[in-house]
A = this chain, B = another copy of it.
């Protein structure tokens, strides 16, 4: 087959899509926490710096979870000050995940101004991930969100398992609506709808977004977070854009989904997303070449190729 010589897609806008999309980059947090290898703190800081240099404006930096649960991110206390103080990052939003009040304390002490909590749309996953019922989990987040808002921190509420759940199967819309409303009611500024096991398809995405909209959840508060387990992430993103979504989560280089793992449950690769968005004439502020170079650099540190198809295509152009 022929080696592509084109470095950029031809921009052909489509009707009814937003002019701009904000990419919420999760590679340094959601990506690295699902990689086998633990990356040195300085490498993570440099990774985040390079992501910002490539034009990403929202870069989730780390998680203040207990090191026992996520050893890959056990260095949050060391990493966060490194990136917080980089002058290159003065315009970059650096949200951090906090699982509970203890995590919030750690994050606020270090000057974090954007936090995220990680809820579930299903009882089974709340039980498995947090060992709580859904209501108990929401009750746990309530003081976290309230105190964060009291410190003028911006709060993102993740919902995992918004489409399918490995124990419960397809997730009923009213269940997702209920958790979304609870998170907004307690003060979350934005939501991120996660397809944690990657089973969603475009009609499902559109129908859930319509159901949320009808239930009074404003679309501008909703971001989408797709996994490429069944290869559906980008098609689902297109469906979300067609329903008015303008915030899309993605992971540079597809970090978190090793192509050689038994089950490739990876995040949508930021590069594949940027290729589509730029092809659609949608502004992201991202320099694709710099982003690809960053993911190649990170893949070398992880000693394995990037699972992003765009990274592989563009890094082997010559």
Contact = CB atoms under 8 A, between A and B. Distances in A.
A30 B259 CA distance: 23
A244 to B, nearest CB: 15
Number of copies of this chain in the oligomer?
2
A40 interface: no
Interface string A124-148: 0100100000000000000000000
Contacts of A280: 201-203
Interface in A225-278: 228-232, 234-235, 237-239, 259, 262-265, 269, 272, 275-276, 278
Nearest to A169: B6
Interface residue SS majority, chain A: loop
Contacts of A164: 4, 6, 9-10
B5 A167 contact: yes
A200 interface: yes
Interface of A: 1-6, 9-14, 17, 34, 125, 128, 163-164, 166-167, 169-170, 196-204, 206-207, 228-232, 234-235, 237-239, 259, 262-265, 269, 272, 275-276, 278-281, 308-310, 312-313, 316
